[in-house]
Chain A
Amino acid sequence: MKSAFARWWSSIAFRQALIFGALVVFTMIVLLAVFYVQTVGAWQRRIDSQIETTTQRLVDYDKRSGSLALGNHINSLLGDGIDSDTEVYTLVAPDGHVVAGNLAVTGDITGATRSISEHRVLRAGRPSRSRLRVTALSDGSILIVGRDMQDQHELEELIRGAIYSGAVATLLMAVAGALLFRRQLERRIGTIRETAARIERGDLAQRVPISAQQDEFARLSRDINAMLDRIHALMEGVRHVSNTIAHNIRTPLSRVLARLYTAQNAPKPAEAFPDAVGFAIAEIQDLNVVFDKLLRIAEVESGARRQTFATVSLNEIAVNALDLYDAVAESKGLTLTHTLDAQPTVTGDGDLLANAVANLIDNAIKYTPSGGAIHVDTRRDGPSVTLTVRDNGRGIPEEERTRVGTRFYRLDRTVPGWGLGLASVLAIARLHGGSLQLQDAGPGLIAQLVLPVTA
């Protein structure tokens, strides 16, 4: 029983419902208490004022007509058949004998003068409770005026009983309601928990069934499902990336191994070794570069470098890149020209932006044959600034453009490279809240790095 309650208590639905039930019970008790005080209390106050008036009237009567006449008057009052079930009148002479009245007088009654109080008495030979006003008259006799409260007490008992049983019934209903509420809630949450458990066991395709009611749970379920869809898509992306990475790292590794095994098994291993070792070193160095580039892209994508963003001039970055590349362009027989707009500044990582710009120029130089032209320009365009690298090389066919920027995607496998340059430019652009746009220059490629201008 205790453990069952502990289990119920651990349910928030049960607790909430029970607390709510308790609140209802409390409210009801307050309400009934007010009702009780208002009715019973008011009634008592009316009785008291009646006793007071009657006492006053009898005291006046005594002053006017004397205590003997008062005794007769009391006898006539008791005999008139009005209120005879409840009225209490008694006149006690100074020597202690009862002149008139219906009360068995004891010492502790006559001692309590001045205020109205309740006493256990014998009225007309029957035990009862009465409210009494005891007054000492001028000649030393004592007047007792009162009212039998027995009926009223019985009524009060009845009302109290009704209040108690009502409270108990409400409490029971609150507990029952709490249990019912808990079951309802448990059922709705149960479906979500079941789905979560199935997902935890590895079935990622599971989704929370959405009930017909458009309530909070339906909305929560939809939110959870949307979150699961997003996680699923991200995991697919990660799996794709790790597959390509595995492929692009395992392939050169197996090439190296194959070459070394071949050398080991050659008829004259000593002669085959130098070549194989040279090959292995070159391949492993390449692998190292690939690995480094991948880690840098991952670092950019993580967004950690946003913390060190500063205001940087895109023109300065472009000028530095041009300064680095003009010699190599010239040596390849390319013209490298530029037009720079008035000082566009962006908020970002200067090193990364320099890398992105250098990568774009590097690419243009790589893919433009001798005699070609490369033009770099920066242009402010409302809230954004665009750095364009335009060449008249072979360009990228339209259907391939969306795939450029995917890690390891390479248009031409005869040109040395890893297929990571534009992927890193894309990651850098996204880190800065910008984009990389590729267009046809007919012939050639227009690569645009679009970045938001410093606010």
Chain B
Amino acid sequence: MRRCLIIEDDTENAQYVANGLRELGWWVAVCRDGMDAVGRSIDEAWDLIILDRMLPNDVDGLSILKTLRSMGRKTPVVVLSALAATDERVRGLKTGCDDYLTKPFAFSELAARIEAILRRSQPDEGIREMRVADMRVDLIARSVERAGRAIALQPREFRLLAYLLLHQGRVVTRTMLLESVWDYRFDPQTNVIDVHISRLRSKIDKDALVPLIHTVRGVGYTLSAGGPRGEIAG
């Protein structure tokens, strides 16, 4: 069972995240005090730490993160904070967190980002080719085949497909796609991402027996051979 430590002083928020993670099969501990948190985060083994920034007694969560990293611990850390300014975010990432999410947030967004981080922490080195159902993708030659038939993709469509493939079976949100595939950090008012996905879908899933790209209502998208498995309560 995967173990997660939530360092957060607000009971309501901590419960919300803890319940969500428990539903996904995590073992969760909540720590409300900054001093306590330093000890627990170092003494015990965790698969993930979720860290709030403004803790009681003027403790900045980032100082806990700093201590952890200075001791060589590579535990994935997601910072959850109301401090949303770009320089605060940059400070968080520089201190060594794996993702920085601003409050308020939807649990689905957090869950999707956690999955992305955990996948990243097990790097798929040297993977040249990936297969899902009857689709074969060559990551080096950047070519795609479905049922033995070559599919021509634009470079950006290929990047989109590759990102979905790397997060196979997991949900990726629109914000994640916008950030990772297009490198944008803003909130478009038109459905840009949906249109790109539907284009990609029309090329990949057209005439196929098994659709691969699925919409997860209210959250985002997932790529899998067996339907939208990774559905998350949001």
A residues sitting closer than 8 Å to B (CB atoms) are 284-285, 288-289, 292-293, 295, 299, 304-305, 320, 323-325, 327-328, 330-331, 351, 354-355, 358-359, 362, 365-366, 416-417, 421
Q: Does B183 contact A (CB under 8 A)?
A: yes
B residues near A327, Cβ cutoff 8 Å: 192, 195-196, 199
B residues near A285, Cβ cutoff 8 Å: 106
Q: Does B147 contact A (CB under 8 A)?
A: no
Can you name 28 A-B residue pairings with CB atoms under 8 Å? A288-B104, A292-B84, A295-B85, A299-B86, A304-B85, A320-B184, A323-B156, A323-B182, A324-B188, A324-B192, A325-B190, A328-B191, A328-B192, A351-B184, A351-B185, A354-B184, A355-B186, A358-B184, A358-B186, A358-B188, A359-B186, A362-B189, A362-B190, A366-B189, A366-B190, A416-B189, A417-B189, A421-B189
Check if A365 sits within 8 Å of B183, measured CB to CB: no
Assuming A365-B190, A417-B189, is B195 touching A320 (CB within 8 A)?
A: no
Q: Does B187 contact A (CB under 8 A)?
A: yes
Q: A305-B86, A323-B182 are in contact. List 20 more A-B contacts (CB 8 A).
A: A284-B104, A285-B106, A292-B84, A292-B187, A299-B85, A304-B85, A304-B87, A320-B183, A325-B190, A327-B192, A327-B199, A328-B190, A351-B86, A351-B185, A355-B185, A362-B189, A362-B190, A366-B189, A416-B189, A417-B189
Give Cα distance in the complex from A41 to B225, angstroms: 120
Give Cα distance in the complex from A86 to B83, angstroms: 101
Which chain B residues (77-113) contact chain A, with CB distance < 8 Å?
A: 84-87, 102, 104, 106
Give Cα distance in the complex from A292 to B190, angstroms: 17
Check if A355 sits within 8 Å of B156, measured CB to CB: no
Check if B184 sits within 8 Å of A324, measured CB to CB: yes
Give Cα distance in the complex from A83 to B189, angstroms: 119
Which chain B residues (48-63) contact chain A, with CB distance < 8 Å?
A: none
Majority secondary structure of chain B interface residues (helix, strand, loop or mixed): loop
Cβ of B197 to closest chain A Cβ, rounded Å: 9
Closest B residue to A327 by CB, please name it.
B195
Give Cα distance in the complex from A324 to B195, angstroms: 10
A residues near B192, Cβ cutoff 8 Å: 324-325, 327-328, 362
Give Cα distance in the complex from A299 to B192, angstroms: 26
Most buried by A among B84, B106, B185, B192: B192
A residues near B190, Cβ cutoff 8 Å: 325, 328, 362, 365-366
A residues near B184, Cβ cutoff 8 Å: 320, 324, 351, 354-355, 358
